[in-house]
């Protein structure tokens, strides 16, 4: 790193001599020697602020070996000692979460208050994990057979891998690692190359909380690092959130190598709006769920199924609200935050814009167009404005594929049943919502819809930490959802013990037959 960067403006210094974001191995930052890096941008300015190391085979080996040593030590810690570390981490995170939020905004671009919300949702899982003793208890059956007791033990897996997406660099890892660590495992986190610093910040916080070295490892990298985790026999499980094609690759590769896998994939979430719904409420929630975090979340609402005659009035109300949204630097200016920040990269902005082009070419009406938006003072930022499409054809790729940007499509349907059939016919099954004042329709919806997470007058139905997160169909590969009871089941394995302590006075003698209950 150059020694004179403090004499230069931040942006110029970043261009001339970007710092290198390293790994975290054996309880400390571990500079890379691979010679491979990738640029990390501030999406609001378009400036490269750092380079992130991309691991080579030797660094993958070092990370996994360190985690294995950490597991061998941590798994022997008593429940009471583990719980003390978890409580300490929880308190440190709560006290310093604003610091983490600002790191996320600088690399991801989302508004600071949205980054704070991400952290708070992740913190719910940390808080769940602090009560882990109740969730890893076994069971005991006394005298299951004469003089024989049967009981079960829940024990940790070992080294577990977490492969994290760019859109939630803190929350998604926190869906997994608090539960994994509480259960006695050691974790290797592979963050997105686009926003890698949050994981390092969390690693340092764990060390401050008293977690032994090696129990929380951060491995920066690309596909080489991912494949290292997927194939190494010391890694017992993989947890992943990302696009469906990558989730399927993760599932197939890791499963082939004998690992447990929970791989959460993409989505195309619908909101079914019945004519009896409060359309002002619906418009508010459609804007919140469609454009929050610039649409870069797997639980975003991307399609509004409006049961006629609701569509025209609803579109007008959504338009009115879009006109008031402010797009800008997520860090804010003069103490005022915008409503939306930029997209993660220039390439992703082009992809989102391409989907609007496709929709328009296929006959959709572009009611509000966010293409070509520039923000004064941030002309090189990766901004894309809220976009509203009407009459999107069901055959258009803009309808069938995940856009992952601030694009909300309206599709008009004639009946409740038509809306349900459209949702159920899709390849994804992550989340969906219904807006209505008819309890019977809502109850029928929750029973008939083939989706993993359902909102009733709630647009983004992300479950609280003591339930579990995950979809159906092409939105989830593997049997275990994230966090909740599913999480503790995923990160432990059960032993059944059949025990007899013989009474010397009543020794049973030799019996060569198959054991019988008596």
CA 234 to chain centroid, in Å, comes to: 24
Alpha carbon of residue 310 to chain centroid: 33
Answer whether 126's CB lies under 8 Å from 97's CB: no
51 contacts 38 by C-beta, under 8 angstroms: yes
Cα–Cα distance list, 440 to 179, 445, 493 (Å): 37, 9, 41
Question: CB under 8 Å to 273, separation ≥6 — which residues?
Answer: 279, 282, 304, 305, 306, 307, 310, 314, 434, 435, 436
Give the pair of three-digit tokens for residue 10: 């931040």
Catalytic-role residue among 25, 85, 219, 298: 298
Residue labelled with tokens 């969730």: 135
CA distance 328 to 347: 19
Contact 481, 469 (CB under 8 A): yes
Residue 493 three-state SS: strand
- Closest C-alpha among 324, 302, 333 to residue 112: 333
Distance CA 367, CA 360 (A): 10
The answer to whether the CB of 479 falls within 8 A of the CB of 452 is: no
Quote the tokens at residue 151: 């009981």
- Rounded to an integer, what distance in angstroms lies between the CA atom of residue 254 and that of residue 252? 6
Residue 53 pairs in a beta bridge with 37
Query: Which is it for the CA torsion 270, 118, 326, 288, positive or negative?
Result: positive
Measured CA to CA, the distance from residue 7 to residue 264 in angstroms comes to 45
State how far Cα 226 lies from the chain centre.
16
419 half-sphere exposure, CB direction, 13 A CA radius? 28
369 catalytic, yes or no?
no
Q: Which two tokens stand for residue 136?
A: 């890893």
CB atoms closer than 10 angstroms to residue 63: 31
Q: Give the CA radius of gyration of the chain.
A: 25
What region does 178 belong to: left with phi over 0, alpha with psi -120 to 50, or beta?
Answer: alpha
| Distance (Å, whole) CA 428 – CA 452 | 10
Residues recognised as catalytic: 298
């Amino acid at each position: 790193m150059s020694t004179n960067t403090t004499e230069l403006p931040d942006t110029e210094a970043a261009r001339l001599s970007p710092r290198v974001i390293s790994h975290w191995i054996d309880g400390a930052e571990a500079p890379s020697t691979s010679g491979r890096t990738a640029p990390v941008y501030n999406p609001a300015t378009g400036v490269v602020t750092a380079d992130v190391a991309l691991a080579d085979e030797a660094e993958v080996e070092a990370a996994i070996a360190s985690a294995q040593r950490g597991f061998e030590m941590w798994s022997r810690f008593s429940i009471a000692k583990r719980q003390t570390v978890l409580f300490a981490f929880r308190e440190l995170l709560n006290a310093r979460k604003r610091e983490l939020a600002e790191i996320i905004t600088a690399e991801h671009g989302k508004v600071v208050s949205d980054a704070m919300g991400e952290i708070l949702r992740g913190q719910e899982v940390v808080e769940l994990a602090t009560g882990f003793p109740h969730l890893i208890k076994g069971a005991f059956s006394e005298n299951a057979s004469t003089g024989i007791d049967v009981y079960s033990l829940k024990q940790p897996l070992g080294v577990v891998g977490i492969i994290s997406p760019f859109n939630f660099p803190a929350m998604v890892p926190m869906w997994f690692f608090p539960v994994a660590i509480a259960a006695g495992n050691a974790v290797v986190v592979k963050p997105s190359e686009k926003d890698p610093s949050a994981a390092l910040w969390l690693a340092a916080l764990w060390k401050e909380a008293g977690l032994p070295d090696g129990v929380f490892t951060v491995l920066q990298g690309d596909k080489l690092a991912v494949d290292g985790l997927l194939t190494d026999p010391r890694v017992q499980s993989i947890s992943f959130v990302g696009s469906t094609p990558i989730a399927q690759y993760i599932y197939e590769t890791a499963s082939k190598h004998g690992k447990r896998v929970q791989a959460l994939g993409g989505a195309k979430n619908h909101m079914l709006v019945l004519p009896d719904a409060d359309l002002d409420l619906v418009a508010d929630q459609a804007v919140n769920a469609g454009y929050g975090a610039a649409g870069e979340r797997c639980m975003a609402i991307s399609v509004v199924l409006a049961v006629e005659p609701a569509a025209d009035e609803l579109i007008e109300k959504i338009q009115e609200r879009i006109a008031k949204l402010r797009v800008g630097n997520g860090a804010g200016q003069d103490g005022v935050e915008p409503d939306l920040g930029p997209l993660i990269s220039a390439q992703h902005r082009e992809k989102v814009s391409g989907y609007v082009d496709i929709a328009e070419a296929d006959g959709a009406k572009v009611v509000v167009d966010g293409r070509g938006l520039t923000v004064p003072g941030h002309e090189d930022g990766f901004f894309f404005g809220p976009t509203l499409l009407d009459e999107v054809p069901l055959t258009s790729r803009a309808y069938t594929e995940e856009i992952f940007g601030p694009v909300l499509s309206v599709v008009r349907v004639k009946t409740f049943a038509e809306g349900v059939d459209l949702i159920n016919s899709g390849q994804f099954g992550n989340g969906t919502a219904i807006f209505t004042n008819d309890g019977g329709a809502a109850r029928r919806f929750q029973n008939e819809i083939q989706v993993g997470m359902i909102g009733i007058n709630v647009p983004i139905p992300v479950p609280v930490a003591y339930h579990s997160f995950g979809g159906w169909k092409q939105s989830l590969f593997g049997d275990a959802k994230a966090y909740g009871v599913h999480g503790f089941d995923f990160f432990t394995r059960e032993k059944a013990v059949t025990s007899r302590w013989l009474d010397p006075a009543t020794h049973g003698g030799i019996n060569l037959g198959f054991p019988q209950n008596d």
